[in-house]
Structure 1
Amino acid sequence: MTKTIISYHTKDGAARQAEFEENTTSFDLSRLGAMDIDLGPISETANLEELLLASNKLKTVSLTPLANCSSLQVLSLLKNRLQDLSLKGLEGCTALRELNLGGNELKRIDLGPLGKCMSLERLRLFGNQIEKLDLKPLSKCTNLQYLELETNHLEKIDLGPLRECRNLVQLNLMYNSLTEINLGPLKACSRLKFLYVQHNALSTLDLSPLESCKDLTILRLGNNDIKSIDLDPMSKCLGLRRLELAMNNLQSLDLTPLSNCTELRGLDIAGNLLTSIDLSPLSECEALEELYLFSDHPHENQFAELDLTPLFSCKNLEDIGLPETVDLTAESSVKGRKDIPSALRELIDEERISWV
């Protein structure tokens, strides 16, 4: 029986080989300590479905031998030392579902060949040093569900091509240097559930395109420089469970749209410049479990008084972040309720609430 033999070198320069039986559909070449590797023999394995090269020490690798691997579904180069990588060869991988290039040192990458990978569902480019990225080839990847671009050096990005990715479920842009983002193209992504944009340099963000994302579940916008934001589009996101706005520069915030978000579990608005907040809309968020209005961030909200009455309707509220010095009040009519949330019961036991 013919075997496929893959040759590589380790750090000490030693030549090594990995052998795979003829009918093997998965080649695991992870954690070999490979400094370089010759994938040439793979060009003869048309039935290959999975190629794993994670956790090696590769600085570059030629993927051209994969051009004949039309059955390849998963390719992982996670956690190497890739500084330069051409995706040439992947245009022949028409069955490719997942490409993982996370945890490398890439500063740029041409996604062009992926325009032929119409079955692509997940693209992972997190943890690199990418400064610019052209997403145009992804407009052909209409099955794309997960796009992970977090922890790079992106200052701007055109999301326009994603309007063709109508199956997109998750877009992760956190920990970049983005100063602005046009979310307009996401209006077409009606299946979007998770949007992560925290830890960037945004001063403003228009959420209106998200009103079409009825399935939106988690929206994280923390650690930016946002001074004002209109939450009205969130009133259309009835399945929203977590909203994070912590560590911005918000001076005012209207929570009214959240009254429609009856599945909301967590809301974090700590670390802003708020001096007052009307919590009334949260009385409709009976599933709320966590509410952070204050968390000892370097700059914090400066509430003098907070009316907690609406929160007595949040039966599952277990954790609430409040400043030690704020005056807490609640209407006496809710004092005798039997189903007082545990977070508020604790405040009552500490005699922190004044009944009015």
Structure 2
Amino acid sequence: MECVKVDLVTVTYKNRDGRTVEVEVDPDDSSILDLSHKKISSIDLESVVAIPGLTKLDLSRNTFTHPLDLSPLSSCKTLESLDLFKNQFDQVDLTPLKGCKSLTELNLGANNLSEIDLSPLKGHTNLRRIRLFNNQLSDVDITPLAKCTGLEYLEIESNALTEIDLSPLAGCSALKQLNLMYNQLTNIDLSPLSSCLGLHFLYLHHNKLQDIDLSPLASCTKLRILRLAGNQLSEVDLKPLNTCRALRRVGLAMNRIEEIDLSPLVKATELSFLDIAGNRLKEVDLTPLSGCTSLSELYLHSDHPTDNEFGSLDLTPLFGCPDLEDLTVSDSTRLVADSKYSKGKGIPYALEELADEGRIHWE
């Protein structure tokens, strides 16, 4: 049988030393082109799109000296993933991606972008993940994402956002993760998230939020992680979380919370992490946690300049948390517990340590 010779495709780029590099690609061998970590300063994308059936293009971790012209990608109808992570782009024109309807993931993280126009992504129903983290964005209009019905992950953390309108996400019912941590948000309306019934992860920690209404999360019954630490919240009503029985981690540390009702967590049997340290609490009823049988980490005090000042704490409910390994409390807090547990077996490790140290007063 005569062997058919496959025509190789030659991809050309220049590295930061000014040397031209040619890479031969066998189009029958792979539809993925990985050119990450190649010290690329410029690349001929015309040579890239010559690869028939290209589905993934990875240009991450390079050293481009000029904005990358994506125009050649307009003809790449099969492109599913474009990775431009950690370059030095201060601008990217996404217009050529308008016709790339197969696109599922776009990574623009860790660049120097101060603005981004997402309108070319309008109607990209296959788009599942957008990564814009660690840039210099002070404003992002996500309106074009309103009809991206397949969107599951939106990551805009570590930017300079002072506000963001989440209304377009009401049409993104498949959304699983929204990450807005480490921005400068002073307020946020979560109402659009009530339509995101599959939401698993919501990261809002380390912003400047002074108040927050969690009511929209009542319909997000699959929510697993909620992080609100490092804001300026003086109060937070957890009642909407009563229906979120899949919760695993709740972070409320380093706020200004003066009182808190943990009863909405009573049915969160999968809750493994709860952090309320670094607030202004004088008392807290731990009774609701007795049913949180998966709880392994509970932080009530830390080394923050401003912290909770509990005169005493009744730890009795925590004996219902067999996996509890880490528990932080102030040395000045008087710890009490029901004496019926004083000689019991199978005491949670964190409580056993406190008992051995003579910290617990049995009553």
> 2:32 corresponds to which residue?
26
CA shift digits 1:112-139 (9 cap, x unpaired) = 1111422011111111111110101111
Contact in 2 for aligned 1:46/1:70 (Cα 8 Å):
no
1:38: how far off?
1.9
**Residue 199 (structure 2) pairs with residue 196 (structure 1):** no
Q: Return the alpha-carbon distance in structure 1 between the equivalents of residues 119 and 204 of structure 2.
A: 25
Whole-angstrom CA distance in 1 between matches of 2:332 and 2:32 = 60
Q: Superposed, which structure 2 residues align to 1:114-263 within 5 Å?
A: 114-263=121-270
SS in 2 for 1:260: coil
Q: Does 1:36 align with 2:42?
A: yes
Aligned to 2:3: none
3-state DSSP class of the match of 1:171? strand
Alpha-carbon contact 1:315-1:340 (below 8 Å) kept: yes
- Please give the alpha-carbon distance, in whole angstroms, between the structure 2 residues aligned to 1:128 and 1:4: 34
User: In the TM superposition, what is the alpha-carbon distance from 1:46 to its structure 2 partner?
Assistant: 4.2
Which consecutive unaligned segments of at least 5 residues does structure 2 have? 1-5
Secondary structure at the aligned position of 2:95 is classed as coil
Please tell me the residue identity of whatever aligns with 1:80. N
SS in 2 for 1:161: helix
Q: Encode CA deviations 1:122-172: one digit per residue, 9 max, x unaligned.
A: 111111111110101111210011111111111100111111110111111
Match among 14, 19, 34 for residue 14 of structure 1: 19
Residues 87-126 of structure 1 aligned to structure 2 (within 5 Å): 87-126=94-133
Q: Give the aligned partner of residue 76 of structure 1.
A: 83
What are the ranges of 5 or more consecutive residues in structure 1 without an aligned counterpart? none
- Kindly provide the amino acid, as one letter, of the partner of residue 109 in structure 2: G
Quote the residue 2:275 is aligned against: 268
Give 3-state SS (helix, strand or coil) of 1:166's partner.
coil
Q: Secondary structure at the match of 1:89?
A: helix
Deviation at 1:40, TM superposition (A): 1.7
Letter of the aligned partner of 1:121 in structure 2?
A: R
Q: For residues 262 and 98 of structure 1, what CA distance do their matches in structure 2 show?
A: 34
Runs of 4+ in 1 over 6 A off after TM superposition: none
SS at match of 2:69: coil
The 8 Å contact of residues 43 and 67 in structure 1, kept in 2 or not, is answered as no
Single out whichever of 21-30 and 202-211 deviates more from structure 2: 21-30
CA distance in 2, matches of 1:151, 1:343: 34
Decide whether the 8 Å contact of 1:45 with 1:69 is kept in 2: no
* Deviation digits for residues 5-24 of structure 1 (CA, Å, limit 9, x no counterpart): 33322223222222322334
Structure 2 contact 56–79 (Cα < 8 Å) conserved: yes
- Where 2:298 maps in the other structure, the secondary structure is strand
CA distance in 1, matches of 2:117, 2:251: 33
Separation of aligned partners in 1, 2:296 and 2:203: 21
Is 1:175–1:198's contact at 8 Å kept on the other side of the alignment? yes
- Per-residue Cα deviation, 1:23-76 (whole angstroms, up to 9, x for no partner): 341111111211122202334434101101011012411111111111111110
Q: Given the alignment, which residue of 257, 278, 284 partners 1:277?
A: 284
Correspondence for 2:62: 56
Secondary structure of the equivalent of 2:336? strand
Distance in structure 1 (CA, Å) of the matches to 2:49 and 2:169: 32
